[in-house]
């Protein structure tokens, strides 16, 4: 169990770097709120933004903050400690309604996505552009982004879900599942 949000943040940063690359900003200011992490993905001429709000307990406050981050992000996640995630999971319909991702993270660097939101257009073009311009010259790289982004296969109506990612020293294990509507 994490003792403080700072402890959770430091461990989550190590997790992000090990599993998704170093293409992120920590506590990015000057936007609509201060997300704990802003992860970015550069693909060809486009930059996609994923925001993360970490909380030990208060999932409602985290959901409000994550919703604000959608003003400049394509995807926004609430990441809760494993102990407090059940209260949010009992209110999963709220996360679905507002298209906010929900995940849990624990002291063993176990990260589980409980709800993966759809990729969306940021509400504020100006805020998004402000952020994009600040990171456009960055040489940092992202990896394993499919774990965080909800993709649907247009040809088969299949959707891939990642249930959990567990990081042990030097290894990554990804558990995946798929379902089809055909």
Lowest mean pLDDT among 11-25, 67-81, 82-96, 142-156: 142-156
Q: Kindly report the CATH class assigned to 5-143.
A: alpha beta
Using one digit for the tens of pLDDT, what is the confidence trace for 88-112?
999 999 999 999 999 999 888 889 9
Q: What is the average pLDDT across 146-161?
A: 53
Q: Is the pLDDT of residue 156 over 50?
A: no
CB 177 within 8 A of CB 163: yes
Tokens of 151: 């993709």
Q: Which residues contact 95 (CB under 8 A, 6 or more apart)?
A: 63, 78, 88, 101, 102, 115, 117
pLDDT number for residue 168: 39
Q: Is the pLDDT of residue 179 over 50?
A: no
Q: How far apart are CA 153 and CA 178, in angstroms?
A: 11
Instruction: Give the whole-number percent of the chain exceeding pLDDT 90.
Output: 41
Q: What is the CA radius of gyration of the chain?
A: 16
Q: Is the pLDDT of residue 34 over 50?
A: yes
Sequence spans of domains, the chain? 5-143
């Amino acid at each position: 169990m994490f003792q403080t949000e700072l402890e959770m943040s430091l461990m989550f940063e190590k997790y992000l770097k090990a599993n998704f690359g170093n293409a992120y900003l920590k506590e990015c200011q000057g936007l609509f709120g201060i997300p704990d992490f802003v992860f970015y993905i550069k693909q060809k001429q486009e930059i996609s933004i994923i925001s993360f709000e970490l909380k030990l307990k208060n999932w409602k406050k985290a959901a409000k903050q994550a919703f604000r981050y959608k003003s400049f992000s394509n995807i926004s996640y609430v990441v809760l400690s494993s102990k407090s995630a059940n209260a949010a999971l009992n209110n999963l319909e709220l996360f679905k309604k507002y298209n906010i991702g929900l995940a849990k993270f624990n002291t063993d660097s176990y990260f589980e996505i409980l709800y993966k939101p759809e990729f969306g257009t940021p509400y504020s073009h100006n805020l998004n552009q402000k952020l994009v311009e600040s990171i456009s010259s960055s040489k940092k790289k992202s990896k394993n982004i499919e774990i965080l982004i909800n993709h649907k296969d247009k040809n088969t109506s299949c959707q891939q879900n990642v249930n959990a990612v567990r990081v042990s020293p030097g290894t990554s294990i990804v558990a995946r599942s798929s379902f089809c509507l055909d």
